[in-house]
Amino acid sequence: MDSEDLTGAQLLAAFAALANPHRLRIIAALADGRQYVSLLARQLGMSRPLLHMHLQKLQAAGLVSGELELSEDGKAVKYFEATEFSLHVTPHAIKGLAPTLPEPADNGKETD
Amino acid sequence: MDSEDLTGAQLLAAFAALANPHRLRIIAALADGRQYVSLLARQLGMSRPLLHMHLQKLQAAGLVSGELELSEDGKAVKYFEATEFSLHVTPHAIKGLAPTLPEPADNGKETD
DNA sequence: GACACGTGTAAGAATATTCTTACACCAGAT
DNA sequence: ATCTGGTGTAAGAATATTCTTACACGTGTC
């Protein structure tokens, strides 16, 4: 996940995902290592459905990844971890990606 | 404008400012050099009040700067240029700034 | 069976953002 | 005086995002 390899639309999604204090805290909490959703919600003091929504957005932007596992006592547990992204953002870098930005009217839809 | 020197709240404002295709295009357009508002609006195909709003947000985040000048024929002309920011964003960098993030309930108000 | 603890998701309210339209001001040229 | 071309800003509509509440399912334990 290097900023060099991204399209404008992907970089935009990353910025949108990062533009929220909850989600920055989530990344901070996952920077050390992985954690499962319910415990993470308790650690961050937010409701589990809310955390779920934020994790979806972070995952869609490629900033975290999650995998469902089975714990020893049979429960399904979903662990998330931060991906090792590295975005180097400068005016020049943005200029390079501008041609691949979606039109403001666009809804990011593919040729459907 | 180096990501090392920012607080969490400032980084958050920068991400929020970058999370919009119009604003990324504005930065791209200003990466080469400065331009005044009305012409920039025509180049980007957006209304001047809308551009004005986006420029305010970018300026508040420190990503562009503007200065009002007097042209030779007496008109007030406001030029904007991209600041030379450089944000290096990684999970570890975010973790370092997390303690200075605003509370989600916060409205970013100072001790007023 | 009821409880505890994990998962996911949907509906609707509450907020925040984005965008248009309409206004006001200033200065030079016709 | 009116037109052109710069500036700024306010009000309200249209969208998008955020958040809560309430539901559903599965498994191990009391």
pLDDT in tens, B39-85: 999 999 999 999 999 999 999 999 999 999 998 888 899 999 999 99
**By C-alpha distance, which of B36, B21, B94 is closest to A102?**
B21
Name the minimum distance, in Å, from the CA of A30 to any CA of chain B.
Answer: 8
For the stretch B5-43, pLDDT in tens is: 899 999 999 999 999 999 999 999 999 999 999 999 999
Q: Does A56 have pLDDT greater than 90? A: yes
Interface touch A89/B94, C-beta < 8 Å: no
Q: Are B53 and B94 spatial neighbours (Cβ–Cβ below 8 Å)?
A: no
For the stretch B84-100, pLDDT in tens is: 999 999 999 999 999 99
| pLDDT-derived band at B108, boundaries 50, 70, 90 | very low
B48 touches strand D (CB under 7 A): yes
> Is CATH 1.10.10.10 correct for A3-99?
yes
Q: Which residues of B47-61 are buried (b: 16+ CB within 10 A; e: fewer)?
A: eeeebeebbebbeeb
Interface touch B95/A27, C-beta < 8 Å: yes
Identify from A1, A32, A87, A89 which residue to disrupt to test chain B contact, counting B C-beta atoms within 10 A and taking the largest count: A89
Q: Does A6 have pLDDT greater than 50? A: yes
State how far the Cα of B66 lies from the Cα of B37, in Å rounded to an integer.
10
Two tokens at B23? 């604003």
Name the minimum distance, in Å, from the CA of B74 to any CA of chain A.
Answer: 31
Interface residues of chain B, partner chain A, Cβ below 8 Å: 8, 11-12, 15-16, 18-22, 24-25, 27-28, 30-32, 46, 82-92, 94-95, 97-98, 101-104, 106
Interface touch B95/A12, C-beta < 8 Å: no
Q: Are B87 and B3 spatial neighbours (Cβ–Cβ below 8 Å)?
A: yes
Q: What is the pLDDT of residue A112?
A: 32
Better-predicted residue by pLDDT, B75 or A13:
A13
Residues of A in contact with B16 (CB under 8 A): 19
Q: What are the residue boundaries of the structural domains of chain B, listed by start?
A: 3-99
Q: What is the pLDDT of residue B74?
A: 86
Interface touch A30/B86, C-beta < 8 Å: no
Using CA coordinates, name the residue in chain A closest to B20: A12
